[in-house]
């Protein structure tokens, strides 16, 4: 916490706005618009809620298709199932681990011949690094399909000088407890499309019509952010830049100390600047140590680390879904290789230098 969170929470208490509306909610939306560089924002109870509303806005319903990044957290694609639609998963490219333009083009060609054009494409900015939008957006545009940018992990990251969250027709952020800044739980949708934000705002407050009595013509949701949580968000947003700075130095320290080792950190594209949310390593292909060995080695010292997201096409839940690989069919896909060789290292902004040295040493003794 920065310290200012309590000030904003206190204001909410003093004015007695302990509700899913109030000054903090309005201000947090304004401050996010200004920071990201978008016209409109809607504060919600989660990032997942944001993706759900965006899908609904693009008319996704039963039997429809939605393309989505394969290497991601389930929050990206669970909302496709809420709408009884079919996810189609798109592999990563090796440069940024984000959606592969090659796999995306393959999926669109398939969709065209099979008459399964998607209603939307969800592109994730993984582990705080932007996808390659100059490659991806023209493909989506060619087929006339809107893009939902899942920037849940990428607040503060940039691509060619523009912030993540400006590339989707609608974009979402998450303020869940594990993200770079948190409201304890929450999310936000941002867009330059005023109509879209207006409609999603309506759905997020139980679709209550503008009448004196409670009038409802459409299904709605209880998805708004509370004024208390928004107060935390305002305090957190103030320290985002310094947090990115700290996380960058944590990443660079891992990167330097693992240099010339059978371990590599996530590649950083020169087209943008990540927010360094997590430092993620992969074990080089010809090396015999497994991710399980590294995780156990750290666990023995009570240090928590996790495997990279398990690709969605490998999940039981999505086993019936179509999937398009970056590679030819003889080769394993990129997302699977990253899952099998990747580990998210301790990356918290309170990680001490000595603690980081311990982690590095524990891994180095394995080879």
Question: Using CB under 6 A as the criterion, which residues of the chain lie in contact with ligand PLP when the complex forms?
Answer: 46-48, 72-73, 75-76, 124, 150, 152-153, 174, 176, 187
Q: Which residue, 29 or 363, is less far from ligand PLP as judged by CB?
A: 29
CA distance 139 to 219: 33
Q: Shortest gap between Cβ of 334 and ligand PLP (angstroms)? A: 17
Q: Which residue, 104 or 360, is less far from ligand PLP as judged by CB?
A: 104
Q: Which residue, 163 or 356, is less far from ligand PLP as judged by CB?
A: 163
Q: Which residue, 231 or 233, is less far from ligand PLP as judged by CB?
A: 233
Q: Which residue, 54 or 363, is less far from ligand PLP as judged by CB?
A: 54
Q: Shortest gap between Cβ of 172 and ligand PLP (angstroms)? A: 7
Sign, CA torsion 82/146/159/337? positive
CA distance 312 to 90: 9
Q: Shortest gap between Cβ of 201 and ligand PLP (angstroms)? A: 18
Residue positions counted in the chain: 367
Q: Shortest gap between Cβ of 55 and ligand PLP (angstroms)? A: 13
Q: Shortest gap between Cβ of 229 and ligand PLP (angstroms)? A: 11
DSSP codes joined into one string, 290-354: -HHHHHHHHHTTT---EE----GGGSGGGTTSEEE-SS-TTSPPHHHHHHHHEEEPP--TT--HH
Q: DSSP 3-state assignment of 173?
A: strand
* Residues 335, 92 contacting (CB under 8 angstroms): yes
Q: Which residue, 29 or 263, is less far from ligand PLP as judged by CB?
A: 29
CA distances for 247 relative to 79, 214, 244, 291, 348, angstroms: 30, 48, 5, 23, 7
The candidate with the shortest Cα–Cα distance to 1, out of 193, 161, 237, is 237
Q: Shortest gap between Cβ of 15 and ligand PLP (angstroms)? A: 26
């Amino acid at each position: 916490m920065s310290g200012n969170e309590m000030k904003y929470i206190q204001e909410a208490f003093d004015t007695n706005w302990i509700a899913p509306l109030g000054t903090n909610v309005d201000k947090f939306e304004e401050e996010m618009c200004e920071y990201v560089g978008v016209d409109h924002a809607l504060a919600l109870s989660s990032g997942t809620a944001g993706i759900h509303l965006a899908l609904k806005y693009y008319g996704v319903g039963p039997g429809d298709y939605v393309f989505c990044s394969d290497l991601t957290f389930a929050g990206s694609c669970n909302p496709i199932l809420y709408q009884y639609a079919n996810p189609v998963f798109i592999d990563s490219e090796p440069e940024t681990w984000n959606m592969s333009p090659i796999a995306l083009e393959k999926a669109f060609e398939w969709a065209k011949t099979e008459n399964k054009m998607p209603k939307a494409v969800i592109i994730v900015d993984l582990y705080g690094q932007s996808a390659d939008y100059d490659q991806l957006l023209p493909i989506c545009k060619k087929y006339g399909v809107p893009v939902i940018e899942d920037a849940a992990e990428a607040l503060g990251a940039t691509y060619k000088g523009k912030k993540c969250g400006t590339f989707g027709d609608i974009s979402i952020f998450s303020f869940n407890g594990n993200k770079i800044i948190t409201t304890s739980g929450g999310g936000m949708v941002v867009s330059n499309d005023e109509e879209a934000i207006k409609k999603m705002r309506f759905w997020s407050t139980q679709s209550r019509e503008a009448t004196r009595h409670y009038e409802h013509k459409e299904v709605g949701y209880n998805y708004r952010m509370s004024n208390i949580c928004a107060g935390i968000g305002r305090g957190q947003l103030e320290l985002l830049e310094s947090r990115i700075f700290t996380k960058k130095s944590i990443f660079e320290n891992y990167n330097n100390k693992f240099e010339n080792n059978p371990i590599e950190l996530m590649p950083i594209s020169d087209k943008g600047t990540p927010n360094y949310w997590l430092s993620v390593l992969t074990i080089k292909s010809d090396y015999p140590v497994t991710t399980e060995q590294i995780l156990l080695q750290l666990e023995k010292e009570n240090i928590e680390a996790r495997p990279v997201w398990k690709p969605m096409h490998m999940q039981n839940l999505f086993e019936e879904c179509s999937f398009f690989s970056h590679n030819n069919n003889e080769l394993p896909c990129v997302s699977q290789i990253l899952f099998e060789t990747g580990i998210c290292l301790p990356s918290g902004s309170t990680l001490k230098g000595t603690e980081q040295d311990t982690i590095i040493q524990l891994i180095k003794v394995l080879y």
